[in-house]
């Protein structure tokens, strides 16, 4: 179990029943990206604990309201305690259900529910501190058009290290675009890269949570690296510790992909510039 309480959070979504009486009116098929990010708040303590969440992954949708492949990661970090952050992976196809009860032209719902086959969630700052979170879920309102979809978080029953539920108000959204009919194991060409979210610095005794943003341009090669790279990373925490770093050496980037899912790593080289903005 997670330390003394494990981690329980209720992100910025409001729970919506996914299934309705009768057959789900499902209109999504094929491989798609699932991406969303936003803010949340834990109000169970003496003072609000504002936080951040991110969702990213891949699903292969079936047209009956389920999926035949799934690998989605959910991460959360609040601003009050560096240790109140966790990572959960949903990788069982049965975790995903969706429905358009009023037809594909109206809003539907999409829910990810943890099952026994999913790897244990873990405390991000201390990965050895784990818990299954079986039966916990995160739900979205989903809109579909021409095979693409966009979604917004509405509720969650996941919990944080202190056993706290993330309550309203919460908010987060993302755009999911069709990823084609099959996965690829190589990246090529010039692409734009963008990411943002909440972070924590747990090297100090006081709470030191923060925010980071990343944006840049990459020319990928087909051998797990890049031929050109210019990516800027900015960070600011709650104790005014901030920095900006620029990744400019193509050797800074490595990636590995299998069946359309993988990892991308940026590592600062000695010649990459960094500076404190304050």
Q: Which residue has the tokens 């924590």?
A: 200
Neighbours of 203 (CB within 10 A): 7
Peptide bond just before 183 cis, omega within 30 deg: no
pLDDT in tens, the chain (278 residues): 454 333 333 333 322 222 222 335 567 888 888 888 877 766 666 666 777 888 889 999 999 999 999 999 998 887 777 677 889 999 999 999 999 988 887 788 899 999 999 999 998 888 898 989 999 998 888 878 777 788 877 778 887 766 766 553 445 666 665 555 456 677 888 887 777 777 767 665 665 677 777 878 899 998 999 999 989 887 777 666 778 889 999 999 999 988 777 889 999 999 999 888 66
For the chain, the 3-state helix, strand and coil shares in percent, each to the nearest 5, are 0, 55, 45
Paired tokens of 265: 């790593």
Contact 131, 1 (CB under 8 A): yes
Q: Record the pTM.
A: 0.70
Length of the chain equals: 278
Q: Which residue has the tokens 């509405």?
A: 154
Between vectors from CA 66 to CA 155 and to CA 18, what angle results, nearest 5°?
35
Burial (Cβ within 10 Å: 0-12, 13-18, ≥19) of residue 96? buried
Of the candidates 4, 12, 2, which has an alpha carbon nearest to the alpha carbon of residue 166?
12
Residue 269's pLDDT is what? 94
Peptide bond just before 170 cis, omega within 30 deg: no
Neighbours of 147 (CB within 10 A): 13
Distance CA 197, CA 37 (A): 7
Paired tokens of 60: 């292969």
> 119: which DSSP letter?
P
Contact 79, 49 (CB under 8 A): yes
Q: In Å, how far are 30, 136, 262, 263 from 217, measured between CA atoms?
A: 28, 37, 19, 17
User: Helix or strand or coil: residue 89?
Assistant: strand
């Amino acid at each position: 179990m997670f330390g003394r309480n494990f981690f329980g959070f209720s992100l910025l979504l409001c729970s919506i029943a996914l299934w309705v009486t009768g057959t789900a009116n499902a209109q999504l098929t094929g491989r798609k990206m699932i991406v969303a990010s936003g803010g949340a708040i834990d109000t169970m303590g003496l003072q609000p604990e504002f936080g951040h969440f991110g969702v990213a992954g891949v699903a292969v949708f079936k047209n009956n309201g389920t999926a035949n492949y799934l690998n989605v990661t959910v991460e959360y970090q609040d601003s009050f305690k560096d240790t109140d952050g966790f990572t959960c992976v949903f990788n069982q196809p049965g975790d995903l259900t969706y429905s358009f009860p009023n037809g594909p032209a109206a809003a539907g719902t999409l829910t990810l529910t943890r099952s026994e086959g999913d790897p244990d969630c873990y405390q991000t700052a201390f990965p050895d501190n784990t818990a299954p979170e079986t039966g916990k879920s995160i739900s979205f309102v989903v809109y579909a058009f021409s095979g693409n979809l966009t979604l917004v978080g509405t509720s969650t029953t996941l919990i944080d290290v202190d056993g706290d539920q993330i309550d309203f108000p919460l908010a987060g959204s993302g755009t999911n675009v069709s990823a084609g009919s099959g996965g690829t194991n190589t990246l090529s060409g010039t692409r734009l890269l963008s990411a943002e979210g909440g972070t924590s610095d747990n090297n100090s005794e006081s709470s030191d949570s923060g925010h980071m943003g990343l944006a840049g341009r990459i020319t990928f090669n087909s051998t797990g690296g890049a031929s050109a790279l210019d990516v800027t990373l900015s960070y600011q925490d709650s104790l005014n510790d901030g920095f900006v770093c620029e990744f400019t050496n193509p050797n800074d980037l490595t990636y590995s992909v299998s069946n359309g899912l993988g990892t991308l790593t940026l590592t600062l080289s000695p010649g990459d510039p960094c500076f404190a903005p304050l």
